[in-house]
Amino acid sequence: MSNDTMVTLQGWLGGDPTGRDAGGVPVTHFRVGCTPRRFHRQREEWVDGETQWYTVNAWRTLAEHCLRSLRRGDPVVVHGRLTHRTYVNKANTEVLALEVEAITVGHDLTRGCSAFSRSPLRDRADGSATPEATAA
């Protein structure tokens, strides 16, 4: 069993996903904004907290599917490994960036409807075809 920190994000895509090739392996990344809402009892209303932004990286088949399926503004649910990295930005300030290596990504169906298209050759997590795909 691994000691990875697993997280589930519910938020909105801040821009269209971008894909690239990393040593022969497809990778897609996108930003997810998560804005917490809390009920303010004294004002008796819902208030938005500060939006937190996460970079999400998806690899291999998931990368290809994210690139084909997701668009800016889409509501998503992302589950994966939380990582962090530090870098120095243009203002010469050290920045801590939180990133998620996605294991699964989907549209948040509490926000709307989505249509699903099965990939005929890669239906299982191990990449093997399902009996329906091999019969077609």
Q: What pLDDT digit, counting tens, does each position of 1-10 carry?
A: 578 999 999 9
Establish if 127 belongs to a structural domain.
yes
Q: Is residue 1 part of a domain?
A: no
Q: What is the pLDDT of residue 133?
A: 45
pLDDT tens digit sequence for 83-131: 999 999 999 999 998 899 999 999 999 999 998 888 876 555 555 555 4
Residue 128 has a pLDDT of: 52
**Does residue 53 contact residue 33 with C-beta atoms inside 8 Å?**
yes
In a domain, 39, yes or no: yes
CATH number at residue 39: 2.40.50.140
Which range of residues forms the domain containing residue 83?
6-135
Q: Is residue 131 in some structural domain? A: yes
**How do residues 13-33 score in pLDDT, each as one tens digit?**
999 999 999 999 999 999 999
Q: What backbone torsions phi and psi does residue 114 show, to the nearest 5 degrees?
A: -140, 150
Residues 65-77, mean pLDDT to the nearest whole number:
97
Residue 53 lies in a domain: yes
Domain count for the chain, please give it. 1
pTM of the full structure: 0.80
Number of helices followed by number of strands (H, E) in the chain: 2, 8
In a domain, 87, yes or no: yes
Residues 107, 83 contacting (CB under 8 angstroms): no
Per-residue model confidence (pLDDT) at position 135: 45
